[in-house]
Amino acid sequence: MKRRTLLSGGGAAAATMALSRPGLAQQDKVKVGFIYVGPIGDGGYTYEHNQGRLAVIEHFGDKVETVYQESVPEGADAERAITQMALGGADIIFTTSFGFMDPTINVAKKFPNVKFEHCTGYKRADNVATYAARFYEGRAPCGHIAGKMTKSNKIGYIGAFPIPEVIRGINSAFVHAQRANPDVEFNIIWAYTWFDPAKEADAAQALIEQGCDVIFQHTDSTAPHAAAAKAGDVIAFGQASDMAEYKPSPRVTSIIDVWSPYYIERVQAVMDGTWTSTDTWGGYGAGMVELGEITGPVPDDVKAEALAIRDRIAEGEHAFVGPINKQDGSPWLAEGETPEDGDLLTMDFYVEGIKGDIPS
Amino acid sequence: MIRLEKRPQPSRGWSYVTPVLAVLVTMVAGGALFAVLGKDPVLAIRTIFYDPLFGEFAWYFRGQLLVKAGPLILIAIGLSLGFRAGIWNIGAEGQYIIGAICGAAVGLALYPMEARWLVFPLMILAGVLGGLGWAMIPAILKTRFNTNEILVSLLLVYVAEQILASMALGLLRNPEGSGFPGSRNLSQYEAAANHELIAGTGMHWGVVAAFIAVIFAYVLLNRHMLGFQIRLTGQSPRAARFAGVRPNRLVLFCLGTAGALAGLAGMFEVSGPSGQITIDFNSGYGFTAIIVAFLGRLHPVGILLAGLLLALTYIGGEAAQSNLGLPAAAIQAFQGMLLFFLLAVDMLTNYRIRIGKSEVA
């Protein structure tokens, strides 16, 4: 009993200490933490977040200290990893995967003086902001290229999980592919992982065997590109990162997440004491998504069209412009209509023309 | 010349010393690894082994140690019974998943009922039955059709993972989660939550269950006929049959117990530390528990210590990653070393080292 009292008493005392740490103004360095879902060497999603971290170091130099933990499992382990960073004196912590949402909120309650930034989620608090990139805008020019380039009219798509973010990407790619080529079909495989090179390679292989000659991926490793390279005559798009090692083919272009401006801006806000809980969702226009160099077998006219699509979106045109029907034929967007962000954030349907069901 | 000589009997003394020796050798070799990576080896070892227990934030990490070790010990205890009898359940991960799904499903079905005295015990029961039922598949296939339980139980893990994904996306999905996968958070549903029993200690019902399981397994193995039969079957299946052991009954008992305990662990995890059924709710406890069982020499008290030790390397390893910037792979290599050296020095219990010429036999 005595030991228990000691433990909990000590815990309570230390907890109060941790919670009432002196304000940021007295500290010389701002400590910035990052929680990554994959390894920083994944060559994709986590790699780009880590590039953002490196950009923060380069921008602020001695004024910041960064810490990170990679390959953090979602769930109870994430909560501990985030807590540990907060205890270690981090002033702002970026948790960079959807599955870190509840753990981030839980830890944030215990550390009201630490700022938290959760990527791709929807729960916010006074000290929890959310941010994401409009990846689906990146899918638009790629969809166009896919529609123009396919000879078999079959396009393969590897999805991580059937969540709105991924479904949005599929719909965006399909709408633009179909406008370029009314005969396209999408074959979709769900990998149920963000990062598992073996599974991703298997999925790509299966799609190629089904006759797909264009592969989209919404998973984080370069394995689908390796599979495409092996098959020959198959093209693919870099996901989250440029995946430049597969230039000029099979990688013909890429959807690059650019986190550095956002990370620098938010760390600056912490330094200035102007940080508030916000919800940021930027695309081509905000510079949070970039189109990689268009290479290899893509002819010049297709390249020009793809670049034009990107430029129009960057200038404010929506990636989804009606008329677009839902898969069951019911109208979604009327002629010239564009969707609200709320609709996009909860998207749980395919657009008309995509075959198959969303797993549920 | 150095040579090995088989001991007439495994050395009791060495069997206690070798785990400690393995940890020490791992510290040296791991330290060398960290030094090559350009980190201070003493600081790294200190961060992994000392700080979580006695460092500045030990009040938090000690509790986390129990949170992490609880399910490992609970599952490993169940597995050790079978392993002792030569019944190889490799699929505890699947039984853990199904236990969690069943427990969570009962809790979610009763949401928002407030009667904790009813909801929580029912969830525990469902978790146990879920794990038990899943383990009965390889058990019955083995007793009826003589299939290999290693393969069947292992492959059922992948089936369980698919069911888990389907549950997170469909049946158990939070209706207020705006289309995102994952169930309601059970730890925020008072009647179903497996909270810490004393705030800040990490002690939740799953940890309590783990301690009880250790005691029961100890009594069973040392004081009970069934425990004797388990040990006898492991040492000599033929002799066991002569002694009246019914092998099929033993298979059902060992796989069933392991499944029930794994299911229980899953249920306590999903209603407590993890909180939700999500697509990748499982984080390998069922597989790690196999290592814990052997690291603890299939002995209940050994498993208790091994579970705590492995939890320490996980938690300390995470701290080393985030505080010292060590890559995750280096920590995994470090944990691998621990197991490697344990198996390597294990030789000393069965062999003695002789220096000098061999005598003529």
DSSP character string of A162-231:
SSHHHHHHHHHHHHHHHHH-TT-EEEEEE-S-SS-HHHHHHHHHHHHHTT--EEEEESSSSHHHHHHHHH
Alpha helices in A210-329 (DSSP H): 223-231, 260-272, 300-314
A27 — pLDDT class (breaks 50, 70, 90): low
CB contact under 8 A, A359 and B178: no
pLDDT at residue B360 in the model: 52
pTM over 0.95: no
Q: How far apart are CA A9 and CA A16, in angstroms?
A: 11
Domain count, chain B: 1
Q: Which domain holds residue A141?
A: 135-256+288-345
Nearest-by-CA chain A residue for B269:
A76
CB contact under 8 A, B328 and A193: no
Residue A359 domain flag:
no
pLDDT at residue A302 in the model: 94
What's the gap in Å between the CA of B78 and the closest CA on chain A? 23
What's the gap in Å between the CA of B307 and the closest CA on chain A? 16
pLDDT at residue A21 in the model: 45
What's the gap in Å between the CA of B279 and the closest CA on chain A? 8
Nearest-by-CA chain B residue for A78:
B274
Contacts of B165 in chain A (CB under 8 A): 192, 359
> Which tokens hold the place of B161?
């993972």
What's the gap in Å between the CA of B313 and the closest CA on chain A? 13
pLDDT of A353 higher than 60? yes
Task: Using the 3D structure, point to which of A114, A133, A152 is the last residue of a domain.
Answer: A133
Residue A352 domain flag:
no
Give the range among A72-81, A131-140, B33-42, B296-305 with minimum mean pLDDT.
A72-81
Contacts of B166 in chain A (CB under 8 A): 359
Q: Are residues A236 and A303 in the same domain?
A: yes
Contacts of B63 in chain A (CB under 8 A): 7, 11
Among the listed residues A163, A194, A191, A131, the one whose alpha carbon sits nearest the alpha carbon of residue A344: A163
CB contact under 8 A, B321 and A163: no
A18 — pLDDT class (breaks 50, 70, 90): very low
Q: Are residues A187 and A313 in the same domain?
A: yes
Q: Are residues A321 and A174 in the same domain?
A: yes
User: What φ, ψ does residue A152 adopt, rounded to 5°?
Assistant: -85, -5
Residue B226 domain flag:
yes
Write out the residues of chain B at the interface with chain A, using a CB-CB cutoff of 8 A.
57, 59-60, 62-64, 67, 161, 165-166, 169-170, 173, 178-181, 185, 198-201, 269, 273-276, 278-281, 283, 315, 318-319, 321-323, 325, 327-329
Residue A281 domain flag:
no
Q: How far apart are CA B311 and CA A83, in angstroms?
A: 17
What's the gap in Å between the CA of A335 and the closest CA on chain B? 26
CB contact under 8 A, B181 and A162: yes
CB contact under 8 A, B276 and A77: no
Q: Are residues A236 and A316 in the same domain?
A: yes
Nearest-by-CA chain A residue for B176:
A346
Return the exposure string of A317-356: e unless at least 16 CB atoms fall within 10 Å of the residue's CB, then b. Answer: ebbbeeebeebeeeebbeeeeebeeeebbebeebbbbbee
CB contact under 8 A, B181 and A11: no
Residue pointed to by tokens 């298997």: A202
The DSSP letter of residue B170 is T
Residue B21 domain flag:
no
Q: Are residues A105 and A159 in the same domain?
A: no
Q: Are residues A68 and A178 in the same domain?
A: no
CA angle (B302 as vertex; B297, B305 as ends), nearest 5: 135
What's the gap in Å between the CA of A63 and the closest CA on chain B? 18
Query: What count of CB pairs under 8 Å joins A to B?
Result: 117
What does the pLDDT profile of chain B (361 residues) look like in tens digits? Answer: 778 888 888 778 887 888 888 889 999 999 999 999 999 999 999 999 999 999 888 888 999 999 999 999 999 999 999 999 999 999 999 999 999 999 999 999 998 888 889 999 999 999 999 999 999 999 999 999 999 999 999 999 999 999 998 899 889 988 887 667 888 988 888 888 888 888 878 889 999 999 999 999 999 998 888 888 888 888 888 888 888 888 899 999 999 999 999 999 999 999 988 888 988 888 889 999 998 998 888 999 999 999 999 999 999 998 888 888 888 889 889 988 988 898 888 888 888 888 776 555 4
Q: How far apart are CA A139 and CA A263, in angstroms?
A: 23
What's the gap in Å between the CA of A88 and the closest CA on chain B? 8
pLDDT at residue B359 in the model: 56
pLDDT at residue A16 in the model: 41
Contacts of B276 in chain A (CB under 8 A): 75, 102
Residue A279 domain flag:
no
What's the gap in Å between the CA of B67 and the closest CA on chain A? 9
Q: Are residues A87 and A168 in the same domain?
A: no
What is this model's ipTM? Answer: 0.81
| CB B303, CB B214: distance < 8 Å | yes
Contacts of B59 in chain A (CB under 8 A): 7, 10-11, 14-15
CB contact under 8 A, B181 and A14: no
Q: Are residues A23 and A83 in the same domain?
A: yes
CB contact under 8 A, A71 and B328: yes
For A345, what's the count of Cα atoms within 13 Å in the CB-facing half-sphere? 17
Contacts of A88 in chain B (CB under 8 A): 322-323
CB contact under 8 A, A164 and B269: no
Residue B46 domain flag:
no
Contacts of A123 in chain B (CB under 8 A): none
Q: Are residues A112 and A35 in the same domain?
A: yes
What percentage of residues in chain A have a pLDDT greater than 70?
Answer: 92
Task: Using the 3D structure, point to which of A85, A104, A133 is the last residue of a domain.
Answer: A133
| CB A292, CB A255: distance < 8 Å | yes
| CB B101, CB B164: distance < 8 Å | yes
The stretch A28-49 carries a mean pLDDT of: 90
What's the gap in Å between the CA of A209 and the closest CA on chain B? 23
A5 — pLDDT class (breaks 50, 70, 90): very low
> Which of B165, B322, B325 has its CB closest to that of A88?
B322
Residue B9 domain flag:
no
Task: Enumerate the β-bridge partners of residue A331.
Answer: A325
Q: How far apart are CA B41 and CA B53, in angstroms?
A: 18
Residue A32 domain flag:
yes
Q: Are residues A195 and A49 in the same domain?
A: no
Residue B233 domain flag:
yes
| CB B131, CB B263: distance < 8 Å | yes
CB contact under 8 A, A75 and B327: no
> Which of B62, B64, B275 has its CB closest to that of A7?
B62
Contacts of A69 in chain B (CB under 8 A): 318, 321-322, 328
Among the listed residues A180, A188, A227, the one whose alpha carbon sits nearest the alpha carbon of residue A208: A227
pLDDT at residue B81 in the model: 94
Domain count, chain A: 2
Task: Enumerate the β-bridge partners of residue A92.
Answer: A32, A115
Contacts of B173 in chain A (CB under 8 A): 360
Residue A111 domain flag:
yes
Q: Are residues A236 and A128 in the same domain?
A: no
Burial of A206 from C-beta contacts in 10 A (0-12 / 13-18 / 19+): middle
CB contact under 8 A, B59 and A122: no
Q: Which domain holds residue B255?
A: 75-296
> Which of B200, B280, B328 has its CB closest to that of A12?
B200
CB contact under 8 A, B200 and A7: yes
CB contact under 8 A, A67 and B325: yes
Does residue A323 have a cis bond before it (omega within 30 degrees)?
Answer: yes
Q: Is the dihedral of CA B67, B71, B72, B73 positive or negative?
A: positive
Specify the CATH number for the domain of residue A158: 3.40.50.2300
Task: Using the 3D structure, point to which of A133, A164, A191 is the last residue of a domain.
Answer: A133
Q: Are residues A80 and A148 in the same domain?
A: no
